[in-house]
Structure formats: C-alpha cells, structure tokens
C-alpha cells in the first residue's frame, strides 16, 4: 500500500475518511485518522447547532464551530486534516473562507458543483482543493472551468459512486444502473485527468461502498490513487457520534439501508427506522425554519427538517432522527479503534494483492 502526494503533502496511507455531518466526523475522528497516516476530514454541516453562542445566529455559529474544530484537531494531530463543505450550504462561501484562513490542509466540496472554489484562495494560502463528483461530465466541467477562469486545476478529485451513504449525486433510477457504478466511473475520470497530466498530476479517489482492503485494491487496479471511506469509521471509539448512533450500524443487516428523498433535493442512503416511518406518515413536517442552512431547502415544502434530524441522531436520539450510511455499512460487527480499522484494511489489502500477484 503506497503513499501518495497531493500537492506537496505526502499521505502515508491512501485512505481518506469521508466527511460525515451533522456531528459524526469532527476533530476526534479526523485527528485519529490523520494520526494513522490517512487524511482526516471534519464535516462543516450543522456546526452551528453544535456550537451555540448567545450572541450569534446559526450561520455565525457555524464559522465559530469550524474554527474550534480545526483548533482541536491541530492540538490532537500533526497529520493532514481536511474539511468537507457542501456546495448546497447557504453559507458555503463563508465556510470556505474560514477553512482557508484556518490553514486547513484540504477542502473537499460536493453536493453541487464547486465551480468558483479557487476564487476564495488567498495569495499566501496553502489549502488544497478537492471537488467531489459523481460523473465524468462533472469532472470535465470543473477542470475546464477552473483552468480557463482561475488557471488552476483540482489538487485531487473524489469520485463518489451510488453505493455511498448520505446524499447521492444521482437520479433515483441511476443508483442501481451498472453504467453509473463506481467501477465504470473510475476509469472514465482517470482518463479525463490524464488529459491534464502535463500541467498537474491529479490523484483520483474512489468513494462509495468501499469497506475492505480487497475493495481498495480493486479500485486501485482500475486507476484510483486512493479511496475515501466513511461508514467504516462510524463504529469506532474516536467517532464523534453518540454510542446509540454507532449501535445502529452494529445491529444492522444488509436490508436495513434504503434510499430516501432529502429536503436538500437529492436522494440519500440511510438506515430505515422509526423517524423515517414518521416522515412517510407526514408527522415530521416543520412549522418554521430558524437555520436556513441549505440553499435548496424550502421548509414549507419539506417533509422534515434535515439538520434537526441529523443532529438528534448524532446525539443518540434515534426516535427523532436517522443515520446516513453506505451500502456496506451493515458489515460492522463491533466498536473498534481507528488504529484497528486501518491495520485491518492494510492486512486485507496485502492479502488481496498477494493473491492477485499469484494469478
């Protein structure tokens, strides 16, 4: 399992921890992954609920929360720390500016096309930029837009397939379509970034449903430099979510995940449960909105408030919320340390590589 470079930063293990909000991947999980040689990622989603100042509103609290989480992460780790910022956030620009000011190593931006992301870089900034895409077309559009407008190319591209947890960049009828599978997407996007190899080496990262070292090897054989994994890090001691949230993963089986319609306007993969049943019965319709967290969310037409639901779940109140999860999240059997997870993945990768070499 080889290290790789993104910009001038060497990543010892080709594993990126996916950004999971609200309150699932904060400084605790991110620093633990970074300390093991991967890239740890803090999710910006919902920080304003986790950090409440008496003098600030929700959006102001998000900025303060990101500053605090970055400070905590730097105290716990000297490794590479990134932040995940959804393009759909109503305060996307402010969160990007804050991440850059706090000298975040990498910004991961998805849930929309981050077409203007390089415009926020400052002359002395060393923050790297990694868009998250779900199609070859999106990767090409971003590369061409950034190149022509900002003379900048992505430092890394994360390719998120339809088996990912959380919000998906696919139409509902594409999720089970093999032509949109990660196995098809990776070679297509590797081919696109190769067109810019004379200007910049752009690592391609496979994401979505990856759960074992054998999975890692499969996508690296298709051209990926690294993988992004989210669900595998939820049932760890260092994950920032409540024990009750983690227990949902451990107690789950293969048929417990489902595709839901999110107020964000995208389909999402989550564990079924009491809250989703109440949503389907029309019992969670919001009466007002004091957050205005998502650009595309109109609370008068939403079946529930997503930020409240995710916050409640992260704090362990599963009756008033639900857990996003990847298609293979049910494989979790116990709570482990991040170190144990990383060592298991490395061992599985080595065994799979050895078997492949004998063929």
- pLDDT(262) > 90: no
Residue of 214, 194, 226, 191 lying closest to 10 (CA atoms): 226
**Helix, strand, or coil (residue 226):** strand
The domain 4-241 is placed in CATH, from the list 3.40.50.620, 3.20.20.70, 2.40.110.10, 3.40.640.10, at 3.20.20.70
Confidence of residue 41 (pLDDT cuts 50, 70, 90): very high
Q: Work out the mean pLDDT of the chain and round it to a whole number.
A: 94
- CA nearest neighbour of 77 among 20, 45, 149, 29: 29
Backbone dihedral region for residue 321 (phi beyond 0: left; psi -120 to 50: alpha; all else: beta): beta
pLDDT tens sequence across 333-343: 999 999 999 99
Long-range contacts, stretch 290-294, CB < 8 angstroms, 24+ apart:
290/58, 291/48, 291/49, 291/58, 292/58, 292/59, 292/90, 293/45, 293/46, 293/48, 293/58, 293/59, 293/89, 293/90, 293/91, 294/86, 294/88, 294/89, 294/90, 294/263, 294/264
Average pLDDT, integer, range 13-21: 97
Say what the alpha-carbon torsion angle 69, 340, 254, 223 is, to the nearest 10 degrees: 80
Is residue 85 predicted with pLDDT exceeding 90?
yes
Look up the pTM and report it.
0.95
At residue 54, the pLDDT reads: 61
- Of all residues in the chain, the percent with pLDDT exceeding 90 is 85
**pLDDT average, residue stretch 114-129:** 96
Residue range 216-257, pLDDT digits in tens: 999 999 999 999 999 999 999 999 999 999 999 999 999 999
Is it the case that residue 209 has pLDDT exceeding 90?
yes
- Please determine, for residue 32, whether its predicted confidence score (pLDDT) is greater than 80: yes
Other CB atoms closer than 10 Å to residue 178's CB: what's the count? 8
**Cα 117 from Cα 15, distance rounded (Å):** 24
How many residues comprise the chain?
A: 359
Mean pLDDT to the nearest integer, 29-38: 98
| Confidence check: pLDDT of 357 > 90 | no
Above 70 in pLDDT, residue 50? yes
Question: How confident is the model over 149-168, as a mean pLDDT?
Answer: 96
Residue 188 has pLDDT above 80, yes or no: yes
In this predicted structure, what is the pLDDT of residue 93?
96
- In the chain, where the domains are located: 4-241, 244-320
Say whether pLDDT at 27 is over 70: yes
Q: Summarize the confidence of residues 287-313 as an average pLDDT.
A: 85
| pLDDT for residue 73 | 98
């Amino acid at each position: 399992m080889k290290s790789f470079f993104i910009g001038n930063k060497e990543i010892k293990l080709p594993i990126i921890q996916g950004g999971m909000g609200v309150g699932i991947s904060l400084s605790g999980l991110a620093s633990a992954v970074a300390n093991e040689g991967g890239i740890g990622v803090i999710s910006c989603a919902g920080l304003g609920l986790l950090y409440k100042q008496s003098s600030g509103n929700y959006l102001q609290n998000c900025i303060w929360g990101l500053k605090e989480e970055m400070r905590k992460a730097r105290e716990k780790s000297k490794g590479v720390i990134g932040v995940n910022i959804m393009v759909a956030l109503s305060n996307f620009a402010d969160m990007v500016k804050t991440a850059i000011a706090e000298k975040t190593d990498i910004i991961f931006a998805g849930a929309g096309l981050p077409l203007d992301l390089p415009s926020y870089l400052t002359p002395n900034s060393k923050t790297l930029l990694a868009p998250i895409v779900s199609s070859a077309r999106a990767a090409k559009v971003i590369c061409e837009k950034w190149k022509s407008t900002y003379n900048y190319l992505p430092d890394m591209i994360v390719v998120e397939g339809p088996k990912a947890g959380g919000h998906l960049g696919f139409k509902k009828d594409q999720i089970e379509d093999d032509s949109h599978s990660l196995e098809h997407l990776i070679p297509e996007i590797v081919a696109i970034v190769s067109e810019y190899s004379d200007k910049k080496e752009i690592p391609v990262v496979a994401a979505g449903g990856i759960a074992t070292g054998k999975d890692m090897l499969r996508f690296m054989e298709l051209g990926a430099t690294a993988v992004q994994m989210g669900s595998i890090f939820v049932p760890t001691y260092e994950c920032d979510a409540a024990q009750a949230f983690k227990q949902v993963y451990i107690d789950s089986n293969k048929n417990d995940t489902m595709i839901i319609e999110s107020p964000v306007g995208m389909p999402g993969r989550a564990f079924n449960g009491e809250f989703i049943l109440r949503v389907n019965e029309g019992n969670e319709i919001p009466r007002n909105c004091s957050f205005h967290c998502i650009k595309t969310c109109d609370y008068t037409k939403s079946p529930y408030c997503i930020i409240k639901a995710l916050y409640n779940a992260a704090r362990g109140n599963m009756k008033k919320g639900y857990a996003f999860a990847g298609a293979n999240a049910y494989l979790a059997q116990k709570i482990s340390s991040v170190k144990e997870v990383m060592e298991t993945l490395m061992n599985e990768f080595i065994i799979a590589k050895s078997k492949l070499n004998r063929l």
